[in-house]
Structure 1
Amino acid sequence: MELIVNNVEETLEIGRKIGEKANSGDIFCLIGDLGTGKTHITKGIAKGLNVSDNITSPTFNIVNEYDSGRLKLYHFDVYRVNDPDEIYAIGFDEYIFSDGVSIIEWANYIEELIPEEYLLIKIEKQLHLGDNVRKIILESFGKRYNYIKEI
């Protein structure tokens, strides 16, 4: 599925819709260049999960945990991960195979660690349409994410 958004608010809204439909154990893999809106869509997903905390990118921590919503949220940023062992050292498997929802920014950096079932959220700038216009591609790997058809 491909969606065009014209501003940050529309990006947040798509994230919110995903978060409202998210289930325990869901894994969302975000891919996109710097400044495309990966953290904004994460904020929207958190809102859809009723997370009340302020969502920030865990650039230096690798993972931020939020437990104020209807499901626990694990927000990974693996941009600075140089070796898959780094991600294992923080207990990556324990997070993504838990009852929480995992969001992984820069998931393409750790492709070999991603389980077979996940929702790919790819965000691309569409500068030919305007500075803030983005194409959001949602691709389901596994049947558990069939709910994206309702977004």
Structure 2
Amino acid sequence: MNTDAHSLEFHLADEEATSELGARLARALDSVKSEILEKGLNIKLVGDLGAGKTYLMRSALRALGFEGRVKSPTFSLLETYKVDGFTVNHFDFYRFEDPVEFEEAGFRENYGPGRVVASEWTSKAEPFVPQPDLTITLKNEGDGRVCDISADSALGNQVLEVLKK
């Protein structure tokens, strides 16, 4: 793990390492639950197809206690999960042809207090998507992956501090 004031870099050798990072992310989210309940938390997921964005979220959801099926939102656009004390909304905007589709679909109501929102292909819905608190970038590298997590807000910095431990 490499670190600076507002970002962390993890080298993930395999799926197990990605699962462990998902569990760490879950612990970090749980540590800021009161802020999530008050304001919500937005995560921008960045990476090519197959980079592990959904796998990371699945691992975090499992660590948060969700026991049901965790699907990629590529075709449904949104998958919603109830976990201990808050809701996780997982978006995938890959199929958007125009950012205004975000507003037309009424997706803004899925953001805010009591919600963690993780969105893939966020650039296809900008400028309508609320600003992220965290940006998680996954890149394939050799047989593994590199994951960069950067804070985009004070709340994001709180999450990073827990992830450093």
User: TM-score, normalised to structure 1's length?
Assistant: 0.88
Map 1:36-47; keep pairs closer than 5 Å.
36-47=51-62
1:10 counterpart residue number: 17
Map 1:1-150; keep pairs closer than 5 Å.
1-22=8-29, 23=33, 24=36, 25-127=40-142, 131=143, 133-146=144-157, 147-150=159-162
Whether the 8 Å contact between 1:49 and 1:70 is mirrored in structure 2 is no
Cα drift, residue 74 of structure 1: 0.5
Structure 2: runs of 5+ lacking an equivalent: 1-7
Q: What is the letter of the counterpart of residue 153 of structure 2?
A: G
Whether the 8 Å contact between 2:42 and 2:131 is mirrored in structure 1 is no
Structure 1: runs of 5+ lacking an equivalent: none
- The root-mean-square deviation of aligned C-alpha atoms, in Å, is 1.6
Give me the whole-angstrom Cα distance separating, in 2, the residues matched to 1:92 and 1:121.
Answer: 21
Cα drift, residue 104 of structure 1: 0.4
Whether the 8 Å contact between 1:52 and 1:69 is mirrored in structure 2 is no
Give the number of equivalent residue pairs: 147
Could you list the runs of 4 or more consecutive aligned residues of structure 1 that deviate by over 4 angstroms after TM superposition?
none
Give me the whole-angstrom Cα distance separating, in 1, the residues matched to 2:118 and 2:162.
Answer: 20
Q: What is the letter of the counterpart of residue 97 of structure 2?
A: N
Measured against aligned partners, the alpha-carbon deviations of 1:55-80 in whole angstroms (never above 9, x if no partner) come to 11111111011124432110101110
Q: What is the letter of the counterpart of residue 16 of structure 2?
A: E
SS at match of 2:125: helix
Calculate percent identity across the aligned residue pairs. 28
Give me the whole-angstrom Cα distance separating, in 2, the residues matched to 1:116 and 1:105.
Answer: 13
Which structure shows the bigger proportion of residues in strand conformation? 2
Whether the 8 Å contact between 1:31 and 1:108 is mirrored in structure 2 is no
Whether the 8 Å contact between 2:102 and 2:129 is mirrored in structure 1 is no
Measured against aligned partners, the alpha-carbon deviations of 1:91-147 in whole angstroms (never above 9, x if no partner) come to 2211112411111012232332333342000001112xxx2x111000000010222
